[in-house]
Structure 1
């Protein structure tokens, strides 16, 4: 099976072949670049698409930006080493945010960072849009022009959104900037995130109107028929249209713009419309949907380098080097005794995040009617718990006899006898596939990618947007889609083999929203959503989410946990200034209209 990287690069390779088709004699007579005119590069669909491919190659692969980089940044996981973000040091890049020169031809995921690659991609998108409108340059069908323009608009918006969700409102750049022009003008003043979200939404809307439901349905897409799932389409644009508007509507962003720590109902309504349009289109076409429970883990990992995502993932990261999975995703999340990592770190789930998993009857563990027994904390938990979390006693490998079963009790092999151990009493299997058949060979053939956008996220964002729209409630729906907010959450729960929310959890906005918060913590566990969610909800500094905990316990003769104790490992530092990351200092010294973020 072809990897997504090779599928995406088809047009880039074809462009290269076209441009290198001149004779060796001609090549020796003049410099190579003299043969490449703008007509060569932008004159037809295949060559133009080769330029667009660079935009795909600017997308960060979240967990592979370093040998391993933490990408959740909130309260989901711990390491044997202290995370800089946990002590409030947001200057740290964590191998993710900035500090790399742009090299879009590199096949190394560790070369990518968010900040530099986003600005580069925005310029490339603006260049593409300008060349499409240049008289006498591009010659092609209307479909081809729409595909090129739609992709460029999508990526211009998407990379602005990536910058904005971490650093806050920035100038929205919609033209090609000249190297010699002054940046000290009002055009480059920083704006609020909410203002920026409105501009982002315009581009996503325009992209959605131009792009097809799927490239397999287009003439241009026939060249890569059956391998087009990673190409930007209408679902990508609608999903991010809704997401940008919901972020702009969220309490942190609305407080920054208006002073009110509440949702902007009008923007929520617009977000609900975008999500409703996407969900209806998914129902009508069947192109995307919730992955069946029987193949649920296909969203996150598969073996033999098979493509992940199933029918659920709309946008995955670009695949750069499949081998990085073995050294990044696997290496940092399995026990060091497996011999699959460098032995320098072990990223594991926190106990505080585990407490978000419901009981099999669908009730939260703190509900008096749930049946939860704190002295038997893992019995009768919901099915996603065993899909995502390794607990004490689980048969989780076939590597060697000493590592067949997890020993996560105090003094157990994987808790204190290996270096480094699990510091919390858990491991995650969500992106490594650890089970009783897990071997070194399987680890070497693993495909695992953290989704950027998938259908479960869309359903949950739809529920949130509807809830806080004008006249919103758990029983309300958007005007263009009949599903209620409560039923959208239930759709995600039902897929996970859980019943509908009981009436007491849909009784009003407040109790229902807490279920959305909890459901997002579980369903989107370790997908990078939590850090942005807590911040946009103005909850990053909330005492409920500051303590990162471990579970200590002994085993009784029957292998049951006894002497259970939840222990605080670290209390995160999250003040108001941590709403946004600090901008690179050099950028804030350009002029007074581009100031540093508050508190930094």
Structure 2
């Protein structure tokens, strides 16, 4: 019997695990009126219509720095602006136009309506519906390859949305079915898991997805319909990358302490993570599907002109593009000097001086190494190449137009330090998503495309090195069981691409010394990508005194243009206690039922 159901009920019902998702709306891809009655066969009966249902999960991916006109998305020690960050004061209740506070609207193509919490739960429900419909006898008609593509995407997204929730709020109930409004939330199924247990469930989904997804959709039968336009479709690399990432997070000290009481890496989980990353890297070597971006085009990972999509050869997972013209008002507008008129006078988020100290010298040695040649009285000379691509300092060119904003005046009393409103509060600007310099003109800004990668190959190499190091018997000279590269060699892949020499022997002599270089290398290579906050927390270092002070650099400009009378000044000392390991969950959600408790300390 052909069952008729209401279109909005089958496709867009937003009952999630805890009724977390908000209001709903109807998508247009099936060319049906919102209230039209259609059958399940119409929706789930063939690959094209079923893929349309799956596509909504892509539209639940948050674009990290475009949740508001400009929204904060860096929550550790990287940046400052003229307004206090609530997180710096220990207040983790704010949503920052990032975490929560919007109803789910699938027809709304406004980047500013996306949030992590609501859209993750909605995406999880969509994944569970898709998986259930694929199992219904006589419903889907298509090839096994088509079925695998649909199932693989749904499995990946279920794991991925749980990862997005858990990395901020901790473990969640891992529900694997689409719930009904009449379900009682009282069984074991709905009890919160710790992060480690939740991550192991994610890993099952990622592993299952990796087994059936293609290396790239352009090389698959179903992908031929969209040949050349499959770059962002979920494939085997996505699944393997997040398999390793979920396991590495689960192995990390904060998560391991929560689960076992041991503030140390879980060696067995680290080994499993290393093998997942090794499998990905081996596949990349064999297929060439992803490869490290060349140094001369390194910035292609982050931005491109003329409406061109960034990501290059290295970006595995990038955010969904909802509004291409939002870049001008967010990624660019929120980081350039207010006097350019690109940010409506709002305060720019600028790098802290302590952030810039993570960058090594051109000889590859960290600045606190006595042999590095670093001169604190001439701090910007002889630094590594990524420093000059990422950090705009005093005297650098801002824009290729005449006028008072052509070159940066970031010294005491300089135009961009005290004369414009608001000024830079630290003495720097950030260039990773705002290509200030000889290429920037006002006329070009409207077509700039800049996006924060969720996962790129450089991160895989760095995570591989970390996972190998903390595996049983791990050392800088060790490798995963399924990949030839040692932890040291993996780090050197990233360093060499940045025109730096291999690591000095003194930093590979002990595991402790090597790990400190991993910490520093991640701070640099992944700077401004949102990794730092999660890294410091999972390493149990969020409250470490080394990472609490957010500083500025005050100086005068000498007659030769060099800085003189330099003084590092603490602007903020971050409040980070044990309870800040996890964000608090909004009270309206923790009062749903007894088995869903608030996070410790909140």
**TM-score normalized by structure 1?**
0.95
Structure 2: distance between partners of 1:499 and 1:72:
29
Residue of structure 2 in register with 1:355 after alignment:
357
Corresponding residue SS for 1:62:
coil
Q: Deviations over 1:183-204 (max 9, x none)?
A: 1222111111000010000000
The one of 19, 31, 36 equivalent to 1:33 is 36
Does 2:253 match 1:251? yes
Q: Conserved in 1, the CA contact under 8 Å of 2:310 and 2:450?
A: yes
Deviation at 1:591, TM superposition (A): 2.1
Q: Deviation digits for residues 345-382 of structure 1, max 9, x if unmatched?
A: 11000000100000000000000000111110000000
The Cα shift of 1:126 comes to 0.1
Structure 1 counterpart SS, 2:196: helix
Task: Show structure 1 runs of 5+ residues with no match.
Answer: 1-14, 21-26
Distance change >3 Å, CA 571–CA 32, structure 1 → 2: closer
Distance in 2 (alpha carbons) for counterparts of 1:224 and 1:44: 16
Residue matched to 1:10: none
The RMSD of aligned alpha carbons is 1.1
Question: Which residue of the partner structure matches residue 176 of structure 1?
Answer: 178
**Residue correspondence of structure 1 range 403-482 to structure 2 within 5 A:** 403-482=405-484
Match of 2:372, SS state, is: coil
Aligned to 1:67: 69
Deviation digits for residues 264-319 of structure 1 (CA, Å, limit 9, x no counterpart): 00000000000000000000000101100011100000000101000100000000
Structure 1 residue 539 corresponds to structure 2 residue 541: yes
TM-score (norm 2): 0.95
Q: 8 Å contact 1:213–1:233 — kept in the other structure? A: yes
1:132 aligned residue: 134
Aligned to 1:490: 492
Is the CA contact (8 Å cut-off) linking 1:338 and 1:399 kept in structure 2?
no
8 Å contact kept, 2:133–2:140: yes
Post-superposition shift, 1:592?
2.1
The answer (yes or no) to whether the contact 2:30–2:52 under 8 Å persists in 1 is: no
Secondary structure at the aligned position of 2:556 is classed as: strand
Alignment correspondent of 1:557: 559
**Residues 55-134 of structure 1 correspond to what in structure 2 (within 5 A)?**
55-134=57-136
In the aligned structure 1, how far is the partner of 2:536 from the partner of 2:210?
Answer: 28
CA contact (8 A) 2:120 2:162 kept: yes
SS of equivalent residue, structure 2 residue 331: helix
Separation (CA, whole Å) in 1 of partners of 2:593 and 2:113: 29
**Greater helix percent: which structure?**
1
**What is the match of residue 398 of structure 1?**
400
2:298 to 283, 288, 296: 296
Note the 1:218-367 alignment, pairs <5 A.
218-367=220-369
Residue 17 of structure 1 and its aligned partner are, at CA, apart by 6.6
Displacement, 1:124? 0.5
Distance, in Å, in 2 between the alignment partners of 1:298 and 1:138 is 40
Using the TM superposition, give the Cα deviation of residue 590 of structure 1 relative to its aligned residue in structure 2, in angstroms.
1.9
After TM superposition, give the deviation of residue 343 of structure 1 in Å.
Answer: 1.1
Structure 1, residues 454-477: CA drift from partner, whole Å, max 9, x if none? 000000000000000001000000
Contact 1:432 1:443 in 2 (8 A): no
CA distance in structure 2 between the aligned counterparts of 1:224 and 1:427, rounded to whole angstroms? 40
Worse-superposed segment, 220-229 or 458-467: 220-229
- Unaligned stretches of 5+ in structure 2? 1-26
Residue 220 of structure 1 deviates from its aligned partner by: 1.1
* Preserved CA contact (<8 Å) 2:99 2:117: yes
4+ residue segments displaced more than 6 Å: none
Is the Cα contact below 8 Å between 2:378 and 2:562 reproduced in 1? yes
Report the Cα distance in structure 2 between the residues aligned to 1:198 and 1:165, rounded to whole angstroms.
13
- Matched residues, number: 576
Pick one of 558, 566, 573 that aligns with 1:571. 573
* Residue 91 of structure 1, CA deviation: 0.2
Tell me if structure 2 keeps the 8 A contact 1:212–1:234. Answer: yes
Q: Deviations over 1:47-89 (max 9, x none)?
A: 0000001000000000000111111100000011001111011
